[in-house]
Amino acid sequence: MELLNLAVGASLVVMLVRTLYWHPRRNAQTAAAVRKERQRIAGELHDLVGSQIVNALLLLDSPANRLHPAVRTLEQCMLDLRLLVEVMSDQKGDLAEKLAALRYRIQPVLDKRGICLTWIMDVDDGEMLPRRAHARELCRLVQEAVSNVLQHSRATHLTIELRPRRESGCTEWLLRVMDNGVGMRQQPGEGVKGHGVSNMRRRARRVGARMSIVSEEGMGTEIVVIVDTMQFAPTVIAST
């Protein structure tokens, strides 16, 4: 019961911070103040909440507890918290840079779970990539997909790919997350639902991207996002 209470408490903290972070912005002046406050909160989260989760994991670090669901929940909370702090602290950079930072954070967790990562970044210098708000939304989409892999898929292999697609003279970017896990259940007439799918679709829509999911029970899951470079015009995407 004590393990469960620790895990639930950590999950609630991360959910609360997400709610605070995605509060809508009203104007440029408010946005600047919000960014400053986010950076302050990010520091507090890293120093206080993060250290508490680490201490809890150290207390539970024994062979008997290593595979306990509560320990895995705490590990997931720690990963989510680190990624959220990173997003709150850094509003710049293109999609390739943000994905590289994501890889740095998830690699130790994947290694611990025995999940092999195939990383494909076919990006040349000077190519037009999603930046700022567009990059943030797409990176969060990938983070949601990776979280599903860690929590639900029981996969042993994960592929994350970003590469250009040039068709009919129009340049698009293909962003793909694929695993060899148990797959997701299809709802008759509705396709794949649950496990954060609606959030991923919402993020794709907000940057004008097209998202598709191919998943069968026992056959793994493939999430593909296509982004047209015409969608990268400098606009402000309000956080929600």
Q: pLDDT tier at 22 (50, 70, 90 boundaries)?
A: very low
Which carries the bigger pLDDT value, residue 25 or residue 212?
A: 212
Which carries the bigger pLDDT value, residue 215 or residue 75?
A: 215
pLDDT of residue 174: 95
Helix (H, G, I), strand (E, B) or coil at 32: helix
pLDDT of residue 235: 45
Mean pLDDT of the 138-157 span? 90
pLDDT of residue 237: 46
Answering whether pTM is above 0.85, one says no
Average pLDDT, the chain: 75
pLDDT of residue 115: 94
Which carries the bigger pLDDT value, residue 190 or residue 20?
A: 190
pLDDT score of 215 more than 60: yes
Structure confidence by residue, pLDDT tens digits, 85-134: 666 666 678 999 999 988 988 898 889 889 999 999 999 877 889 988 88
**Can you name the CATH fold of 93-240?**
Heat Shock Protein 90 (3.30.565)
Instruction: Burial-class residue 167 by CB neighbours within 10 Å (0-12, 13-18, 19+).
Output: exposed
Q: Where are the alpha helices (DSSP H) in the chain?
A: 2-21, 28-44, 50-59, 69-89, 95-113, 132-148, 197-206
pLDDT of residue 87: 63
Structure confidence by residue, pLDDT tens digits, 190-212: 566 665 788 899 999 999 999 99
Distance CA 198, CA 201 (A): 5
pLDDT of residue 224: 97
Distance CA 224, CA 51 (A): 36
Helix (H, G, I), strand (E, B) or coil at 121: strand
Q: Of 98, 100, 81, give the one whose Cα is nearest residue 90.
A: 98
Task: Let me know the angle formed at the C-alpha of 82 by 203 and 232, rounded to the nearest 5 degrees.
Answer: 30
Which carries the bigger pLDDT value, residue 100 or residue 35?
A: 100
Which carries the bigger pLDDT value, residue 240 or residue 31?
A: 31
pLDDT of residue 1: 47
Number of C-beta neighbours around residue 1 at 10 A: 6
Q: pLDDT tier at 72 (50, 70, 90 boundaries)?
A: confident
Mean pLDDT of the 145-169 span? 87
Largest CA distance in the chain: 59
Contacts of 30 (CB under 8 A, 6+ apart): none
Domain ranges of the chain: 1-91, 93-240
Cβ atoms of 158 and 146 closer than 8 Å = yes
Can you list the positions of beta strands (E) in 149-229? 157-167, 170-179, 186-187, 191-192, 210-216, 220-228
Lowest mean pLDDT among 38-52, 100-114, 122-136, 151-165: 38-52
